[in-house]
Structure 1
Amino acid sequence: MARGGMASVYEATDIRLDRTVAVKVMHPGLGDDEEFAARFVREARAAARLSHPNVVAVHDQGADDGVVFLAMELVPGHTLRDVIAKESPMPPARALALLEPVLSALAAAHRAGLVHRDVKPENVLIATDPDTGTSRVKVADFGLAKAVSADTQHTATGGVLIGTVSYLAPELVVDGRADARADVYAAGVLLFELLTGRKPHEGESPIQVAYKHVHEDVPLPSTLVPGLPAYVDALVARATARDRGQRAADAGVLLHQLRRVATAVTTGVREDPDLVADLMPRPPAPDTDPVTGVTGSGDTSEHTQLLRTAEVPPAVQRAERPGQPGRPDQPGRTDTAADPWDEDEMAALLAPSTAAITAGPAAPEPTRTVPVGATPAPRRTRRSRRGLLALVLALLLATGIGAGAWWFGVARWTTTPGVLGLDRAAAVERLEAAGLEAEIGPRAFSRTVPAGEVMSTDPAPGDRVLDGGTVTVTISKGEELYDVPKLRGMTEDEAQDALAELKLEFGGSTQRWSEDVPQGVVLASDPKPGTTLRPGSVVDLVVSKGRKPIKVKDWTGEDADTARQRLEAQGLVVEVTGEEHSDEVAEGDVISQDPVGATLFKGDTVELVVSLGPELVPVPNVRASGVDAAREELEALGFEVETRKAAGYLGLGYVFSQDPGSGEMVPKGTTITLTLI
């Protein structure tokens, strides 16, 4: 279990779908207000619409006796806070790699119109796959801060600051309004902390920290970790600019900027003035606070100083400061940048060269006649004239080189505007308004960008592009989805090929008996035909095992009616082919069966012969007959004979009575008892 400022999280089991989930239960009291509960439901539904590999999925939401809760994907592992505690300060490549999936998740949310509002290390979960050893980074708690803070002030003086104060954007502190750029600010603070191991603003109370967010720039990371490339400083400065107009428009733009910096880091680039100039925020107007607009604050931040150096091409810098110590054009001059050439001096230097260019080649200097007794006027040496001309030419050359460098390096380039998420017409209009041409490229599928909206541009938003150049726009075709085809009647191999053509994965097959589908042919699929799936989704097959064999029991000597019921229940057809008398098999039992001990299939026939019991014979009348004659007659009919003497036996040897009596029908072999007199 874990406990936070707004909720507690429990590991639980979803008994309906038999899966382990994380249940976030809001603290008692937050759900008492019906309006809050409704707002919580709306935000939960918005978060549930996010489908991104770096976003913790929201499975369900509900309320129980005023306590609202969310059922979410369980991400076993640790948080980014644990990584910061163990690894920070960390190399730029590691920090950028950790932040990239966070920005990818935020970019998906921003495209969907959802602002996180509480980006912090505790909301970044990291799980390690035990099989591959790779880490999965997921961002949690989308929309919760908005649900809690909809009716709460966000000022630093009255109200509650929702979200961790160390990551709050200045505008959230000042007026409580937040858009995607507030998440950009928090991500920039997160990058600062990864690089340095410290939060940029610290204080004895949250109010002090909030005050610093409003009135102080986030320091450059290199002030705490010397040796970081300037373009890494510039990326942090751009993301954490107090003026939100200076920040990336959303996480998607910041993600492109981060990838440019990551490429420079991984390729070992130590200095890239163009990248620094592109990323570093422009300084605000003099004596104007970037957030509050109050005059008198000045601008002596490290961001401004770095920008002043980075955005001026080196050749232009040299042309602007001709008197730096050790310059070859004026050895020995000790002027600094604070003491440039004044305007009169510059005009005087440029005038002769201009005249020379206008007049063409200089005419030969005429011979001057000096009157006798007059003192000749002092004459400039050719060396001083040549030195001055050389200086002017050097200045012109430096200025030309600087202007050329400025033109080819900066002036003819512009920044690609952000058009992600716009429809085609709006994107073309914005690009053309920026002086660029829009070219519509082939459409592509996207799981996060709705159909008809811009999913990417080349160059990417925030990247440099020639002024008047072409930006290729890729329009989303929406999510790539396929319907499960009808697979019944195909062989298993044919069904697998049909799934592969639709980019669906064959999961496995189960075997089932079928009386009408041959063995090896598909009976059904799971999901069923017509179900819409994403590429890579798994489809299972049910394949026929053919007809189910039926083992037939031997029912000989058992009740024929019971045998009929059991055989018909197995799907067999029972026919009684005859009835016969039997002295051994009781009436109604099975005398014989065909087939016996065989394996049949549903619909096959089993033949039975049923016993009528023993054959009945009438008992003849043998009274008054001699005992020998009576015995002979009865035994000839198959009876057994037994004699006994009557009471008052006289010894005559005649039958006095018989049992069974004359005319009774009895089976052969029945014993007839004769009474003699």
Structure 2
Amino acid sequence: MTAERILNGRYIVGELIGRGGMADVHLGVDQVLGRKVAIKLLRPEMARDPMVQARFRREAKAVAGLNHPNIVSVYDTGEENREINGSFVDLPFIVMEYVSGRTLRDLNRAGEITVDLAIEYVLGVLEALQHSHAMGIVHRDIKPANIMVTSQGMLKVMDFGIARALADASSTMTQTQTVVGTAQYLSPEQARGETVDARTDLYSTGCLLYELLTGRPPFTGDSPVSVAYQHVGEHAPAPSSVKTTLPPIYDDVVIKALAKDREDRYVDAHAFAEALRNARNGIPLPPEELTAVLPQEPAPATVIDYAAAEPEQPFHTGYLEPVAAEQHWNEQPMWEQDRSEPVDDYRAKSKKAWTVVLSIIMVLALAVGGLFFYNWMQAEAARNALVTVPSLTNMTQVEAESKLTELGLVPKSEDVFDDNVKSGLVVSTNPTAPAQVVKGTAVTMMVSQGPESLKIPTSLAGATEVTTRETLKELGFTIGSVTRKNDPAIPAGSLVGTEPSLGSQVKSGSKIDLVLSTGLVEVPQLFNLTEDEARALLSDPKYGLKIFVQTEEFTRVEPGTIFRQDPDSGSTSPQGGTVTVTVAKAPVVETPVPTPTPTDESDEPEESSKTPGEDPDSSDEDSEDILPGVGDLNRFGSGHGFSND
């Protein structure tokens, strides 16, 4: 198993997602912040060039200071010390913002760019350039392939300031590190190997605008060399002549951006953007800002008098030779000169020698141009090679993206509901497998979000509130209100039920209300029940309570029935609590034992001290014994449901 490749102890290097002429781009993960990043690593064979390394580091650090929503951010830079062929080499790397989307090149090829969208996209590019130019950074390689449109519709300019060190192997002209840029978007000063400034980026942006409006670059040719020559010495046709439906008001805006002399272009990106907005609103360029356009015939061939140069001056091939800046339009044609003038034999021989030299140089130039053309054709063939869309069904989104990237396809994703495919797995693709498409084609993956209708798990009954919330959120539900309910079996704070109820089918994303247990039980009415009846009622699962029985003499209810309970009915008791009941018992009545009266026949009967007519057996003391238990009854009063009346 291959060990993970980690840079700076922080960035995990993942699969390859892009490749340029001098660097590879990998998908990575920032372990500290837990986010995806793009990691650009200088190739080992390029890292041996100290000049390339120095420029890579310098430009990366400079671009790291750019902070604009339309610019792909650079998060970090560093070096990786790796062993290559027995020696250790420092490989510089750049950690950048990972952007998922489609490039303007892909959108333009798909025919998805309207005039309005083209203007919006170019305005976004100009905003990014205005910021970078203010920070002293010149991009030097503005082209559709370097501009990304995210899935949210945001525009991101990529490779800011790194184009000087990183070249597009298929279509970028680079020789001895002098000419850098893509041929179809190369400014005249880049083609001549001159120094560049912010107006170089404006020329390339003009080429970009031209292509988005018309569907084709301003200049095309058989090789990058021929295209570069056109940038130097020819003028592109007006955009409205290429696309007849395009309003001619945009012609002047584009032509000014494509001026051969940088002094004739817009002063900065802000001026370019303002002119473009005015054209969109029907306001043409002021006459004083219009750029004169030469006739569309090919420009006269340049003749450079190499014989006039100093003998010691070397002949540089590191850049394209310029078209003569000063064309001698008023110089008298050779055929109108006086033929009677004596011929200088020395000059004639010199001219003949230089003719031979120029012929050799032209042959060499054609050979080099042919080589460029051959390489370009090979690159175009590789770029336009057909690729079979693979079957990605039941792969994870990360696996599917990696598979498409390996094949040179551009992965996109779209969320769908599917009852049969697990959430996070690919359901299908568009185009579907096994369709054949050109490399660079966007393939949309339909990623399952699970079933649209989900069942609320019945297993949540009795679960804690935290567990319930986490489970429902994982299923895609949202939590609504929370209410409390008495329940004899479910602990306090745990789930009694939901609304909609447990076990019901609910649409994904629906709101679920929770009913949680209070941990209490409502005490039932036990009056007039026997002890056995009360015990059976309280032990029912509906209540789950215990009983404690005590007896007391009470005459107003039937003996053996309950006349008092604690807690009272209707109140609450903790789950498994005890209810104390008092059961009535009949009072014990004591029968008085009569005392025998001795009889003496000789004695005279005593006279009664009672009033005549009174019962001789009646007395105040005896009257109290006639109603036994009344005193007990009065002790309870009316508080127990009984009356003293």
Q: Which TM bucket (shorter chain)?
A: 0.3 to 0.5
Q: Compute the TM-score of the two structures, normalised by the length of structure 1.
A: 0.39
Q: Compute the TM-score of the two structures, normalised by the length of structure 2.
A: 0.41
